[in-house]
Chain A
């Protein structure tokens, strides 16, 4: 009986966390006005966010043992985020091109390279992360790391320009009218030896 109660308590706590994390993600997109909901609901979502953060211990200092304990648990159990894949909308797509400059003035354009389709999906996710990243030093660190990896494969290059942009996909109707995808420059970094 005691054992049953212990499992039941674990079940309740586990799903309290999971449901709160999922609610937190949903209210985040609502509060950021990314949905079709009216503005009154968006304001309500803004009010609910701090409550959800409190349940998840996010109002506590990052070094607080409870916050660290909760954080550890949801990483170990695979519940560190919600389930809003491609929700409420499918995000845009990004492209990173490295322009390798050689001593003779030649310029070669290459893309980040991996060997398999499985790894290609992961690199695409990485480009999304760069596109979403608002903290510039992290963004530059990631791009520099990718540039270094490309550079190692082209050791003769003297400089690398990393050009990052988004791909604008046409809607179905636009595609039928002959419109193709377009590219929009976002930023570039120059690296040299």
Chain B
């Protein structure tokens, strides 16, 4: 491997990005659990059941975690399905809170990833984009060098920091993942006529259940739809280039965060907006720079 490639994949990093990711995903997991507290049993049991989604999953791979494993284990202990689902929900909430606080960081990250994955896979027909990105974020978090320096594990329990040389590597993984995500998202949108003339944005904002804003109000902003549609395509497709350049990184990050904030507010997809903003802030947020990187930026070279 070339030294340039090595420098790219294994840069020095302060690890502040990991704190942002841990706290952000911890809060997100807790909010996810709280937002579904009244529908948790319905979505995973009484509304659709798990047989079909878990059956399809088994056909693809019998090794992907699912809620049925916990239900079966609980049945052997004499616990009802409802009791097991409640216990899983409580543990998921607790894992989110522990992550946010930085207590038992790695076990909490693994537990949050596992329990959320089980819920997302067993409720596969009612899962959507937010579940995909929660899995991605938690998957990277649990492999990252936890605990981070601002966690209670380190500050209060005195746990030593480990594998600090890999902080930059795992941040790179997250950064490259977001670049792939946005590039293909932007490319796909750019291939549809509706994103260039504003039709798709109108459809997205008026389509139930995303129609949070009255169409009578939206139509007054008609002139902005094609501009916003083209901007979204360019923001996403251009992300892998402009997020790396010193001059454009911050405006690009602000615009991407603004786009997700808009999706959250205008389409009611609050959790989706939150997880995307957290992933972006951790990957490319200004808090991630080490002192040596700041020095590099001051010389005008491409930022990390």
Bound complex: CA A37 to CA B191 (Å): 7
By the criterion CB–CB under 8 Å, are B192 and A88 in contact? yes
Confirm or deny: B4 has a beta carbon within 8 angstroms of a beta carbon on chain A.
no
Total A-B residue pairs with C-beta atoms closer than 8 Å? 205
Q: Which bracket fits the contact residues of A? A: 35 or more
Q: Is the interface of B mostly helix, strand, loop or mixed?
A: helix
Q: Mark A122-165, 1 if CB is under 8 A from B, else 0.
A: 11111001000000001001100110010010000000000000
Q: Mark A165-193, 1 if CB is under 8 A from B, else 0.
A: 00101011001100000000000000000
Confirm or deny: B63 has a beta carbon within 8 angstroms of a beta carbon on chain A.
yes
Q: What's the minimum C-beta distance from B141 to chain A, rounded to whole angstroms?
A: 12
Confirm or deny: B158 has a beta carbon within 8 angstroms of a beta carbon on chain A.
no
Please provide the chain B residues from 33 to 71 with a CB less than 8 Å away from any CB of chain A in the complex. Answer: 35-36, 38-39, 42-43, 46-49, 52, 57, 59-65
By the criterion CB–CB under 8 Å, are A5 and B191 in contact? no
By the criterion CB–CB under 8 Å, are B184 and A22 in contact? yes
By the criterion CB–CB under 8 Å, are B9 and A172 in contact? no
Bound complex: CA A35 to CA B196 (Å): 12
**B10 contacts across to A, CB distance below 8 A:** 4, 7
Identify A87's interface contact among B46, B189, B209, B222, CB under 8 A: B189
Q: What's the minimum C-beta distance from B294 to chain A, rounded to whole angstroms?
A: 25
Confirm or deny: A75 has a beta carbon within 8 angstroms of a beta carbon on chain B.
yes
Bound complex: CA A49 to CA B125 (Å): 26
**A93 contacts across to B, CB distance below 8 A:** 207-208
Bound complex: CA A149 to CA B39 (Å): 13
Closest residue on chain A to residue B185 by CB atoms? A83
**B191 contacts across to A, CB distance below 8 A:** 26, 29-30, 34-37, 87-88
Identify A149's interface contact among B35, B47, B133, B269, CB under 8 A: B47
Bound complex: CA A121 to CA B204 (Å): 13
Question: Number of B residues whose C-beta is below 8 Å from A?
Answer: 77
Bound complex: CA A79 to CA B129 (Å): 11
Bound complex: CA A2 to CA B201 (Å): 49
By the criterion CB–CB under 8 Å, are B194 and A5 in contact? no
Q: What's the minimum C-beta distance from B73 to chain A, rounded to whole angstroms?
A: 20
By the criterion CB–CB under 8 Å, are B117 and A76 in contact? yes
Q: Mark B160-194, 1 if CB is under 8 A from A, else 0.
A: 00000010010011001100111011011111111
Q: A93-B208, A145-B47, A169-B203 are in contact. Are A7 and B135 (CB under 8 A)?
A: no
**A25 contacts across to B, CB distance below 8 A:** 184, 188
Bound complex: CA A15 to CA B272 (Å): 23
Q: Is the interface of A mostly helix, strand, loop or mixed?
A: helix
Confirm or deny: A60 has a beta carbon within 8 angstroms of a beta carbon on chain B.
no
Query: Could you say which of A14, A34, A117 has the most chain B C-beta atoms within 10 Å of its C-beta?
Result: A117
Confirm or deny: A68 has a beta carbon within 8 angstroms of a beta carbon on chain B.
yes
By the criterion CB–CB under 8 Å, are A79 and B192 in contact? no
By the criterion CB–CB under 8 Å, are B126 and A138 in contact? no
**A126 contacts across to B, CB distance below 8 A:** 48, 125-126
By the criterion CB–CB under 8 Å, are A8 and B1 in contact? yes
Q: What's the minimum C-beta distance from A89 to chain B, rounded to whole angstroms?
A: 4
Confirm or deny: A50 has a beta carbon within 8 angstroms of a beta carbon on chain B.
no
By the criterion CB–CB under 8 Å, are B188 and A83 in contact? yes
By the criterion CB–CB under 8 Å, are B1 and A5 in contact? yes
Q: What's the minimum C-beta distance from A150 to chain B, rounded to whole angstroms?
A: 9
Q: What's the minimum C-beta distance from A34 to chain B, rounded to whole angstroms?
A: 8
Q: What's the minimum C-beta distance from A30 to chain B, rounded to whole angstroms?
A: 7
**A85 contacts across to B, CB distance below 8 A:** 129, 185
Bound complex: CA A87 to CA B232 (Å): 12
Q: A4-B1, A18-B180 are in contact. Are A87 and B192 (CB under 8 A)?
A: yes
Bound complex: CA A62 to CA B57 (Å): 12
* 7 nearest A-B pairs in the assembled complex, by CB-CB distance: A88-B192, A87-B188, A78-B135, A119-B39, A84-B188, A35-B191, A122-B126
27 contacts between A and B (CB under 8 A): A4-B1, A7-B9, A7-B166, A7-B169, A15-B176, A15-B177, A26-B184, A26-B191, A29-B191, A37-B191, A68-B62, A71-B61, A75-B61, A79-B136, A84-B184, A84-B188, A84-B189, A87-B188, A88-B188, A116-B35, A117-B268, A118-B39, A146-B47, A149-B48, A152-B46, A172-B222, A172-B225
> What 10 new A-B contacts, CB under 8 Å, besides A30-B191, A71-B61, A93-B207?
A26-B184, A29-B188, A76-B65, A76-B139, A83-B188, A88-B191, A115-B42, A121-B209, A172-B222, A175-B219
